[in-house]
Amino acid sequence: MKIPFIDKRLEDIYSKVLNGSRLSKKDGICIYKTHDLIGLGQIANHVRKSLHGNKAFYIYNMHLNYTNVCKNRCSFCAYAKDDGEKGAYVWSIEDIEKKLLERIDEPVKELHIVGGLNEDLSFEYFINLLKTVKKIRPNATIKAFTCVEIDYLSNLAKLSIKETIQKLKDAGLEMMPGGGAEVLNSRIHEALFPKKIGHKRWLEIVKAVHKAGIKTNATMLYGHIETTEERVDHLISLRDLQDETHGFSAFIPLAFHSKNTQMSHIPSTTAIDDLKNVAAARLMLDNFDHIKAYWVMIGEKLAQVALSFGADDLDGTIIEEKITHTAGATSATGLTKDQMEEMIIAAGFTPVERDSFYNPIK
Ligand code: SF4
């Protein structure tokens, strides 16, 4: 297909894509810098269509955020509270049971479980949490814990990362959501989340998780202090690791929401930047099968558009999203299966309900 590019630099990138050549750092920077958004979208859509045709995936899932008490207090995080602070909470195993039973009639296929680093919780709590969820929802996949939580749990249990992962796996852990790295870069780590693990440790842990046979997603939190070059380096680091482990399932660009954070002066990301991040991910991450348009962060309407800019997955119905809404997200806190399907059909794609591993639900 011939694309009438306004920015002629995109012609080279398109040729590379058509020849199956890997894009360079310079190409990645060009993708972010170009003003030819439609030309860029067409290249990304070409790749997306060649991988998935007209299909657009979604999952019937549910989020469980077991506590918002966190000792790290990263400056970009609106969700975390100190113990005893107004609004701080921790769910007991009984609370989790109750939450699950309240929605037991719904066809939930995945439980997405993450929380803060709460020093009042023992390692046993996490084992019980996984076992309880599996007992109540035996047919749903447990996708839980970032690498930050895995590092914390290994210290808590005084076990190696490998042993910690094995214990969690034995209790029911089947997949991991992939957050926690934010941007794989020491400067950003020092500036925004110095108490959290740095990028080398994140890569080390995710590698161990993949080695243990657990698939993860990968994310990038963009729209704060990161430079274009740092975004591209992040994507290349993930691509390099994927060459080695093949353990990443999907990539999810996460648009920063600053409300109620220590960085509330930073404005929201623009629609242009959101779409560029989806397209950049689709083009740079040539060894990732799936790119998600996370509707919670970019809004339902832009997520529909993103399906034509490289994304093939709208993530899930969610049910009670808390983290991004604490930071000012204006999207819904959950969508029904019908709403997900209507969004996809209206965008010109065929909805495919999937499980956590992209198997279609019959
Ligand atoms: S981002 Fe995670 S580790 Fe950082 S303060 Fe928030 S909950 Fe804690």
User: Does 197 contact ligand 1 (Cβ within 6 A)?
Assistant: no
pLDDT the model gives residue 347: 98
- Mean pLDDT calculated for residue range 109-114: 97
State residue 257's pLDDT score: 95
> In this structure, which amino acid lies at residue 162?
K
Nearest to 286 by CA among 244, 239, 354: 239
Closest CA to 219 of 131, 142, 300, 323: 323
* Most informative mutation of 79, 119, 201 for ligand 1 (most atoms within 8 A of CB): 79
Please report which helix (H) or strand (E) contains residue 362, including its range.
Answer: none
239 lines ligand 1 (CB under 6 A): no
| Residue 59 alpha carbon to ligand 1 centre in Å | 25
pLDDT-derived band at 307, boundaries 50, 70, 90: very high
Q: Is 77 in the pocket of ligand 1 (CB under 6 A)?
A: yes
Q: What's the rounded Cα separation, in Å, for the pair 353 and 278?
A: 21
Q: Is the CB of 254 under 6 A from ligand 1?
A: no
Q: Does residue 24 belong to any structural domain of this protein?
A: no
Q: What is the mean pLDDT of the segment spanning 302-330?
A: 90
**How far apart are the C-alpha atoms of 90 and 99, rounded to whole Å?**
13
Ligand 1 mean position to 327 CA, how many Å? Answer: 13
Give the model's pLDDT for residue 332.
79
Residue type present at position 81 = K
Looking at the 3D structure of the chain, how many domains does it have? 1
The CB of 74 under 6 Å from ligand 1? The reply is: yes
Q: Residue 106 CB: number of other CB atoms within 10 A?
A: 13
Q: Give per-residue pLDDT as tens, 154-201.
A: 999 999 999 999 999 999 999 999 899 999 999 999 999 999 999 999
List the domain range (segments joined by +) for residue 195: 56-353
Q: What percentage of the chain has pLDDT greater than the value 90? A: 94
Half-sphere exposure in the Cβ direction for 230 (13 Å, CA): 18
pLDDT for position 139 = 96
- Asked, for residue 346, whether it belongs to a domain, the answer is yes
pLDDT of residue 323: 80
- Decide if 51 is inside a domain: no
Domain assignment present for residue 184? The answer is: yes
The answer to whether residue 222 sits within a structural domain is: yes
The CATH number that applies at residue 132 is 3.20.20.70
pLDDT at 327: 82
Q: What is the reported pLDDT for 1?
A: 86
CB 196 less than 6 A from any atom of ligand 1:
yes
Task: For ligand 1, say whether the CB of 80 is within 6 Å of any of its atoms.
Answer: yes
Q: What pLDDT is recorded for position 333?
A: 83
Reported in sequence order, the residue ranges of the chain that DSSP labels E, i.e. its strands, are: 55-59, 61-64, 110-113, 141-144, 175-176, 215-222, 248-255, 290-291, 313-316, 350-353
Q: Ligand 1 mean position to 39 CA, how many Å?
A: 37
Banded model confidence at residue 322, pLDDT cuts 50, 70, 90: confident
Q: Residue 28 is inside which H or E element, if any?
A: helix 25-33
Atom of ligand 1 minimally distant from the CA of 68: 7
pLDDT band at 331 (very low <50, low <70, confident <90, very high): confident
Q: How confident is the model at residue 324 (pLDDT cuts 50, 70, 90)?
A: confident
Whole-angstrom CA distances from 357 to 87, 214, 218, 297, 353 are 35, 11, 14, 22, 11
Domain assignment present for 1: no
Residue 326 has pLDDT above 90, yes or no: no
Contacts of residue 147, Cβ cutoff 8 Å, sequence gap at least 6: 176, 180, 181, 197, 201, 202, 205, 206, 209
Q: How many CA atoms lie within 13 A of 158 on its CB side?
A: 0
pLDDT of the residue at 320: 73
- What is the pLDDT confidence band of residue 328, given thresholds at 50, 70 and 90? confident
pLDDT (tens digit per residue) in 4-29: 999 999 999 999 999 999 999 999 99
